[in-house]
């Protein structure tokens, strides 16, 4: 349990440090920035023996970059590339297994600014 507390403390420290020192450059009509995203996830899945594993909440991480451009005072577009990683350990038939998911999200967002 102590190891998990140390990991959570380190994770929160890194997250706060990155949020406080986030890099963001604003141009007249465009913006660029970097993101670090701590994640909490629980994976539920079926095993090869036909059982179901209910996962416990685990810490993961994600990071990425975004680039945005405003067409006018009210409309803009933003593209992002985000990498996420999460894992889950479980026991099946007296063997300990680990599933790790690593993936990229590439969202394209349309923004409407009312202010």
Q: What is the pLDDT of residue 2?
A: 60
The pLDDT assigned to 81 comes to: 92
List Cβ<8 Å contacts ≥24 apart for 46-51. 47/90, 47/92, 48/92, 49/92, 49/93, 51/92
Q: Is the pLDDT of residue 102 over 50?
A: yes
Single pTM value for the model: 0.60
Residue 65 lies in domain: 2-112
Sole residue written with tokens 């297994």: 97
Split into its structural domains, the chain has a count of 1
Choose from 4-13, 25-34, 71-80, 88-97 the range with maximum mean pLDDT: 71-80
Among candidates 113, 64, 108, which has minimal Cα distance to 84? 64
| Closest by Cα among 107, 68, 102, 78 to 88 | 102
* Distance linking the first and last C-alpha atoms of the chain: 48
- Structure token pair of residue 14: 């890194």
Average pLDDT, the chain: 78
Task: Provide the pLDDT for residue 19.
Answer: 59
pLDDT of residue 52 exceeding 60, the answer is: yes
Between 54 and 6, name the one with better pLDDT.
54
**pLDDT at residue 107 greater than cutoff 80:** yes
């Amino acid at each position: 349990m102590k190891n998990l507390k140390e990991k959570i403390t380190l994770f929160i420290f890194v997250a706060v440090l990155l949020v406080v020192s986030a890099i963001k450059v604003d141009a007249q009509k465009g913006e660029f920035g970097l993101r670090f995203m701590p994640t909490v996830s629980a994976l539920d899945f079926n095993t090869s023996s036909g059982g179901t594993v209910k996962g416990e909440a685990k810490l993961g991480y994600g990071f990425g970059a975004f680039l945005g451009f405003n067409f006018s005072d009210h409309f803009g577009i933003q593209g992002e590339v985000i990498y996420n990683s999460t894992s889950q350990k479980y026991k099946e038939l007296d063997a300990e297994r680990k599933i790790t998911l690593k993936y990229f999200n590439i969202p394209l967002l349309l923004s409407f600014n009312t202010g």
